[in-house]
Amino acid sequence: MSFVIEASGRNVAEQTGGPFAAAIFEKDSGRLVSLGVNLVTTEGMSILHAEMVAFAVSQKKLNTYDLGGRGMANHELVASAEPCAMCFGAIPWSGVRRVITGARDSDTRSIGFDEGPKMVNWKEELENRGIEVICDVQREEAASVLAEYSSYGGRIYNSRETSIENEVVKKSVGSVK
Ligand SMILES: [Zn+2]
């Protein structure tokens, strides 16, 4: 999780996307398979949340759409924040056996991001499908990156002089997860 949170912080510092990162590890060995960071604003694609990028890269790398396929090591998703509605939906299809998250939904929403129409009992839904869920791992550290991004976004907003630029900044901060 420290590695993932550091990546989320770097994504903010280097202005390469939203304040989120996620990685796929082999569950037992801890071997890193892929690292994803949020690329929504930089690539101009709404689906490029950190989790989606991590899934795509790991599946491409391992040449399979199912990270839980027969004969494979078990895989886990470690994400700097709880998944939004889209990423929650992608988790069962990915084949991961465990999900570990840092910041809570409430931390993410508190700086203006929208989690989408995610079911309240999302953890149970995953566990019912045999996917273990562990939340609040290094939550404060993960949430501090969100706060950092928020204050950074605030500075950009305040430094802009035209209303058009303000709208662009508001959109980029308000609609990305
Ligand atoms: Zn998401």
| pTM, to two decimals | 0.85
Q: What residue has token string 């950009």?
A: 156
In angstroms, what is the span from residue 131 Cα to ligand 1's centroid? 18
Are 100 and 123 in contact, with CB atoms under 8 Å apart?
A: no
Q: Return d(Cα 126, Cα 63) in angstroms, integer.
A: 24
To the query of whether residue 51 is one of the catalytic residues in this protein, the response is yes
In angstroms, what is the span from residue 167 Cα to ligand 1's centroid? 23
Instruction: Give pLDDT, residue 25.
Output: 98
Chain centroid, CA 14 distance in Å? 17
Pick the catalytic residue: 14, 51, 165, 167? 51
Task: Give the helix, strand, coil percentages of the chain, each rounded to 5.
Answer: 50, 15, 35
Q: Return d(Cα 50, Cα 1) in angstroms, integer.
A: 14
Structure confidence by residue, pLDDT tens digits, 44-80: 898 999 999 999 999 999 999 999 999 999 999 999 9
Instruction: Give pLDDT, residue 115.
Output: 85
Q: Give which of 101, 37, 31, 91 is closest to 67, Cα–Cα.
A: 91
In angstroms, what is the span from residue 40 Cα to ligand 1's centroid? 10
Q: Return d(Cα 131, Cα 111) in angstroms, integer.
A: 29
In angstroms, what is the span from residue 92 Cα to ligand 1's centroid? 14
Q: Choose from 36-50, 99-113, 130-144 the range with maximum mean pLDDT.
A: 130-144
In Å, what is the CA distance from 89 to each residue of 7, 14, 125, 150, 166?
A: 23, 29, 10, 26, 32
In angstroms, what is the span from residue 84 Cα to ligand 1's centroid? 4
